[in-house]
Amino acid sequence: MVMNYNNIILLSDMDGTLLNTNGIVSEQNKYAIKEFVAKGGKFGIATGRNQMNSVMFLDGIELNIPCILYNGGALYDFKTKQFLLLCELEKTKLIEFLRFCLKEFPDIVILIFSPDQCSVISVKENTDPDFIAEHQPCEFCKMEDIIEKPWIKILFCGENKMLKSLEREMLKFDLENDVHCVFSSGIYMELLPCQTNKGSMLMRLRELMDKDYTIYAVGDYNNDIEMLSHADVGIAVHNAHPDLKEIADVTTVSNDESAIADVINHIL
């Protein structure tokens, strides 16, 4: 029986994994994480969300290790409120591509994430209020207003068929060697700097730690594939995409059954 977790890191995706269908961390998950940390474990999140939005869902949870944000675009310490590592998109070709998107795909909502701001560059009238509420804090602005800011990632929200069409249009702008394109859900497509993902940032986290840890990583969608592949133990929740389950070492219960508590109590 494991008496302590001194050499263990547990990284959890948020949406579809740590959070249930209602976007809430269950009391079972909270209690299990509290016990895990009390016994020496290191707990962190690995999410597509930014530091400002993530904390809105994590009341009562101690994050005692640097966390992976922006789907691998940054490593952030919530205790010191500092970025330890930050990846930045090259804008030159992206600006032209985004202007094309705004004109030809007006129903797709576009968010640009900077270190201190989430900006919606789509027309406000075309934007679902529920989607905006989910990504607070954010603000509407023109792309030209934020060109001088660092861009960490770009999120496109729309029907899957439209996003697939948009992905094909990227080839016309010679972006395939400049960005990493990933679907984080059926209606979310994201652009990150080339070779940037949760797995690449997990490796950077491992390098920053001052001793050897066994890293367990839990996720639910294709943007978690690299993270589970680079972890010592990759765990898929029951509700995960089939592609993620295929590469996972272990499958646990669903996010609506307190998956992280199950990982701590039965897998670790």
Helix pair angle (92-104, 160-169), 10° resolution: 140
Place 129 in a pLDDT band, splitting at 50, 70 and 90: confident
Cα–Cα distance between 27 and 266 in angstroms, integer?
Answer: 17
* pTM score: 0.94
CATH 3.40.50.720 fits 92-193, yes or no: no
- Backbone dihedral angles phi then psi of residue 176, each to the nearest 5 degrees: -60, -25
Place 131 in a pLDDT band, splitting at 50, 70 and 90: confident
pLDDT at 3 exceeding the cut of 80: no
The sign of the torsion formed by the CA atoms of 15, 21, 26, 29 equals: negative
pLDDT at 1: 52
Q: Name the 3-class secondary structure at 264.
A: helix
The model's pLDDT over 47-95, given as tens digits with 9 standing for 90+, comes to 999 999 999 999 999 999 999 999 999 999 999 999 999 999 999 999 9
Domains of the chain, residue spans: 8-86+197-267, 92-193
CATH 3.40.50.150 fits 8-86+197-267, yes or no: no
Cα–Cα distance between 24 and 27 in angstroms, integer?
Answer: 9
The model's pLDDT over 34-44, given as tens digits with 9 standing for 90+, comes to 999 999 999 99
